[in-house]
């Protein structure tokens, strides 16, 4: 595996994504899935990179009062322990890669669909049934988040848009908070059973690449079409997903 090659991939992904307000967590996972790394290292790297990518965005969303804590809490309260549970669950490397491949294929399909619409006046009410729905949604995606190492925002964001859960900007803020808390929970879950063959210097260098790329991209207002970026990602994630499923089926 070319260490510098992956470093440059991560740097470029973070740069492009942060310049249009995205995190790119699924792309890091797609790149890692193409190399024969230990699955525990893939999960840990993806989750730590998620935290680095979304941390800055979450702080900005909170400052701009875009975070609706009352609506986020039902999602997060169940998703955080479920992400931890997913991370501590003992599974074989073959099972992990099969689940990862299927997850990436589903993520690619959701990325391709354009769900964001301006429906400022059509937001669904926060009833008891939606509280239960939010809990189930958060719990399911949280578990997958810890199990695979994906932040979960790639599933949450399009589903919330389809549900007309809130305004697109508040959904983006919710997804960022969701990715952050689930990634942290997943990292804690993994700390209890890390393997001896983890390459920590590689993990640190990839985290540095993401941080550097994210900081540069966030400071540049590039005129790239976010939908084009999402669809390019969908192709990358789909190719990685199919490749992993074929390899481990």
The reported pTM is: 0.85
pLDDT digits 0-9 by tens, 148-184: 888 888 888 888 888 888 888 888 888 889 999 999 9
Cβ(213)–Cβ(10) under 8 Å? yes
Which residues touch 193 (CB under 8 Å, ≥6 apart)?
Answer: 40, 88, 90
Domains in the chain, number: 1
From CA 56, how far away is CA 65, in angstroms rounded?
Answer: 14
Computed over every residue of the chain, the mean pLDDT equals 84
pLDDT digits 0-9 by tens, 38-59: 888 888 998 999 899 888 888 8
* Longest CA span, the chain: 53
Mean pLDDT of 186-207: 86
The first and second tokens of residue 60, run together, are: 């900005």
The first and second tokens of residue 213, run together, are: 């790329």
Q: Which structural domain, as residue segments, surrounds residue 11?
A: 3-248
């Amino acid at each position: 595996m070319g260490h510098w090659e992956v470093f440059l991939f991560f740097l470029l992904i973070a740069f492009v994504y942060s310049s249009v307000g995205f995190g790119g967590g699924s792309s890091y996972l797609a790149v890692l899935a193409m190399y024969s790394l230990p699955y525990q290292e893939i999960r840990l790297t993806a989750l730590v990179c998620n935290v680095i990518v979304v941390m800055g965005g979450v702080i900005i969303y909170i400052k701009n009062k875009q975070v609706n804590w009352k609506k986020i809490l039902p999602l997060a309260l169940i998703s955080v322990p479920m992400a931890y549970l997913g991370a501590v669950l003992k599974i074989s490397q073959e099972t992990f890669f099969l689940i990862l491949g299927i997850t990436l294929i589903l993520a690619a399909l959701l990325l391709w669909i354009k769900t964001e619409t301006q429906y400022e006046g059509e937001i669904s009410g926060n009833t008891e049934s939606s509280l239960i729905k939010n809990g189930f949604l958060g719990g399911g995606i949280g578990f997958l988040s810890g199990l695979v190492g994906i932040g979960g925002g790639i599933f949450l964001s399009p589903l919330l848009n389809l549900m007309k859960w809130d305004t697109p900007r508040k959904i983006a803020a919710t997804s960022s908070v969701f990715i952050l808390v689930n990634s942290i929970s997943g990292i804690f879950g993994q700390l209890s059973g890390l393997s001896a063959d983890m390459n920590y210097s590689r993990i640190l260098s990839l985290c540095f690449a993401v941080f550097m790329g994210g900081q540069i991209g966030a400071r540049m207002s590039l005129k790239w079409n976010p939908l084009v970026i999402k669809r390019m990602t969908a192709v990358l994630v789909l190719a990685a997903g199919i490749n992993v499923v074929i390899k481990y089926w």
